[in-house]
Amino acid sequence: GAVVSQHPSRVICKSGTSVKIECRSLDFQATTMFWYRQFPKKSLMLMATSNEGSKATYEQGVEKDKFLINHASLTLSTLTVTSAHPEDSSFYICSAADRDTEAFFGQGTRLTVV
């Protein structure tokens, strides 16, 4: 299947700082990227959908000013968790798709805010 690379895989940050997570499609052009959050032993919760060159569409209850999403190119989307707090600690996963492929997931990022 297609390769989606997510970086970093793990990050620990101090409360109040910001963290950027990158999601890259390595061998296809991702017209759409999705960002999910997953709590332990829970299913994936869609946070937002981003299309290249346009603003992300956030799901209800997700703070767009806290979770900044940029999809500047067909191969890169970033999620920035701003002013992180311990309750933001979670597993964040991106997935990428174009019109001719299924959505493939990145490896995920384990964020711990201390």
Partner 1 sequence: QKEVEQNSGPLSVPEGAIASLNCTYSDRGSQSFFWYRQYSGKSPELIMFIYSNGDKEDGRFTAQLNKASQYVSLLIRDSQPSDSATYLCAVMSGGSNYKLTFGKGTLLTVNP
Query: Per CB under 8 A, which of residues 75..94 are in contact with partner 1?
Result: 91, 93
CB of 16 to partner 1, least distance (A): 27
Q: Which of 7, 39, 42, 112 binds partner 1 (CB under 8 A)?
A: 42
Q: Are 81 and 19 in contact (CB under 8 A)?
A: yes
Site membership for partner 1, residue 112 (CB under 8 A) = no
Q: Are 15 and 85 in contact (CB under 8 A)?
A: yes
What counts of helices (H) and strands (E) characterise the chain?
A: 0, 11
Site membership for partner 1, residue 111 (CB under 8 A) = no
Neighbours of 109 (CB within 10 A): 22
Chain-centre distance for alpha carbon 52: 14
Residue ranges in contact with partner 1 by CB under 8 A:
1, 6, 32, 34, 42-44, 46, 49, 91, 93, 95, 97, 99, 102-108, 110
